[in-house]
Amino acid sequence: MKEVQFQDIGRVGYKEAWDFQTQLFEETVDQKLVNRKTPEQAKETTDHLIFVEHLPVFTLGKSGKEDHLLVDEARLKREGIEYYPVNRGGDITYHGPGQIVGYPILDLDHYFTDIHKYLRYLEEVVISTLRFYGLESGRSDGETGVWLDAGTPFARKICALGVKASRWTTMHGFAFNVNTDLSHFVHIVPCGISDKAVTSLHIELGREIDLNEVKDQLKKNFEQQFGCTLVPSTQPYKHENS
């Protein structure tokens, strides 16, 4: 089974985590170029999975519209919310405390070279995790992510996805609302979808959820879905104050 180096870097500002996953992503892409151009220097690429809980931030994907951010910079500053246009797919979304964000940096040559299939795999990891909590979830036609009551007037999104890929190497990933304060979502058109709601696991279950328990389920389901083994990272993130 392919090993994937795992680390949970805790609560980190968006830019710091973005820079870190970019470093790992570029290392993989660069090594793949070396492997192709100079086989005598070939090395196996390393796969990674990062869990992080962000400080409040809105991020706008490459295909997003700036007017889907409904408040101005002064309002964001007053509420302590950062804003970044980023290089992933998708539209605008929110990250913040109580949300588990997963960033797989995978060389898809180890698995399959199909981005649509990759997105469905990530969705399935979350769908399986929700099933552990007794919730049946699924996909909404033409709308990436994980939904409850998809295809009904009560459809609501519980997990957003957005990825970037180059030379079959991935970065960015999924944002799973667990104990998330949903009030910030009123400042955006979430994922560019104006006619459907956003929800969080703690709202669906009516209680605060143990984040570590959810993380354990996500890790187990990630291993099962991708046929891999998560191992401790040999390139741990160094916090700014460490």
Catalytic annotation, residues: 191
Smallest CA-to-CA distance from 162 within 125, 215, 123 is with: 123
The Cα–Cα gap between 191 and 2 comes to: 33
Q: What is the end-to-end Cα distance of the chain in Å, rounded?
A: 34
Q: CA 216 → CA 97, 130, 222, 223, distances in Å?
A: 18, 12, 10, 11
Q: Are 54 and 86 in contact (CB under 8 A)?
A: no
C-alpha R_g of the chain: 18
- Structure-block tokens of residue 214: 């959810």
